[in-house]
Amino acid sequence: MAARARGPRPSAACVVRTAPKLSWRLLVEQTIASVSLREIARWCAWLLTALLITAAVLTSFGRSCWACELLSHFPAQLALVALIPCVTFAVVGRRRALVIAAVIAAWNVAALVPFYASVPTVLVPPPADARVIRVVAVNVAAENRDRARVIGFVRATRPDVLIVTELNDFWVRALDAVAADFPIRRLEPRDSHYGIALMSRLPLTILDDKPAGAHAVVARLPQPRLTIVGTHAFPPLSPQLLLRRNQEFAALAAFVRRQAEPVVLVGDLNSSSWSPAFRDLLRDAGLRDTRLGRGVQSTWPAWLPMVQIPIDHALVSPGVRVHGRFVGDRVGSDHLPVVLDFSVDAL
């Protein structure tokens, strides 16, 4: 009987090369088979929880780190994101992890509470003899060409004082349509995004004395005695811009402190109410955020409600009684306008 022919035996080198490949493949397959969807969900929830904790810690460095400043603007959105690990840990039965995720969610919700639970600036209508003044602040967006919506909004709201930011030559011409309604005007157009205008029906005086280094326009009303400041701050999108924005805030605070009469400060501050630098501005200037007790009233970006943040502000000093504050409809800009109704206590 003839011997069976055998093929060539694999060399030792071949065995050495192929064995690890086969063992690694088997290891991966076994690992995948052993990992359940519950474990994958748990790992993802822990990762998201770690990111949320990191974001919460980093926001405290917003005064000196522009990226950390940006993280401070989104407590509402982060609170919603924190619900994902909360639900996940509840489903997979991880109680301690659920507590940690719930604390993170509560931390972000707590930042929103003052805007809904605080006592508003005033709870009663103004006295019969009080003069109620309406100030409207609108960032028209330099690239916006929807003059009809802006002019329509101005006519519908009938402000006593109108503050316009991102004013350029196009918007100077567009505002001619309502110029007759505002006999007192200061228009300072610029090719950049920092042109500004103040237009008034009231007999106020526009001042050359301004906060040093800030894009601002200032006016003073003799009766009731009041100073109105309109401004547009730099966006803190780099270390240099963060420094300049902080310098603007310091200049605004110093200017407000120097005024003998009450102050209303309105405009695009490119900073949300939760920014550490914004809180410093309120403290140093002695101003109050008129959103308190009236809701967050986000203004930017106008076309994305789910991620909107409040960066257009109306701030008041003691002696100013706010009777209404709301955000207007879209006017073609990336910002929503702000409307403020107030009276001034007799000095």
- Please indicate whether residue 291 or residue 5 has the higher confidence score (pLDDT): 291
Choosing from 112, 136, 154, the residue where a domain stops is 112
Same domain? 187 vs 289 = yes
Same domain? 149 vs 245 = yes
Position 14 in a domain: no
pLDDT digits (tens, 9 = 90+) for 92-139: 888 999 999 999 999 999 999 999 987 665 455 777 778 999 999 999
Same domain? 125 vs 97 = no
- pTM across the whole model: 0.86
Position 5 in a domain: no
Q: Which CATH number is 184's domain given?
A: 3.60.10.10
CA–CA distance, 344 with 326 (Å, rounded to integer): 19
Position 9 in a domain: no
Position 55 in a domain: yes
**Sign (positive/negative) of CA torsion 211, 217, 222, 224?**
negative
Position 69 in a domain: yes
Same domain? 294 vs 157 = yes
Residue 96: CA count within 13 A, CB half-sphere: 0
Choosing from 52, 80, 112, the residue where a domain stops is 112
pLDDT digits (tens, 9 = 90+) for 238-258: 999 999 999 999 999 999 999
Position 50 in a domain: yes
Same domain? 101 vs 132 = no
Q: Which alpha helices (H) appear in 72-193, and where do they start and end?
A: 75-92, 95-112, 114-117, 147-157, 169-174
Same domain? 222 vs 97 = no
Average pLDDT over residues 165-187: 97
As beta bridge partners, residue 185 has 199
Position 216 in a domain: yes
Same domain? 166 vs 95 = no
**Tokens at residue 213, please?**
């280094």
Position 246 in a domain: yes
Same domain? 277 vs 209 = yes
How many domains would you assign to the chain?
2
Same domain? 144 vs 30 = no
pLDDT at 34: 56
Same domain? 163 vs 253 = yes
pLDDT at 112: 96
In 3D space, the residue among 51, 43, 113 whose CA is nearest the CA of residue 82 turns out to be 51
Lookup result for tokens 């200061």: 186
Q: State how far Cα 320 lies from the chain centre.
A: 24
Same domain? 217 vs 147 = yes
Choosing from 91, 112, 133, the residue where a domain stops is 112
- Domain containing 282 equals 120-344
Same domain? 238 vs 285 = yes
pLDDT digits (tens, 9 = 90+) for 2-46: 445 555 565 544 544 544 555 666 665 655 555 577 788 889 999
Whether pLDDT at 1 is above 50:
no
Average pLDDT over residues 71-84: 96
As beta bridge partners, residue 222 has none
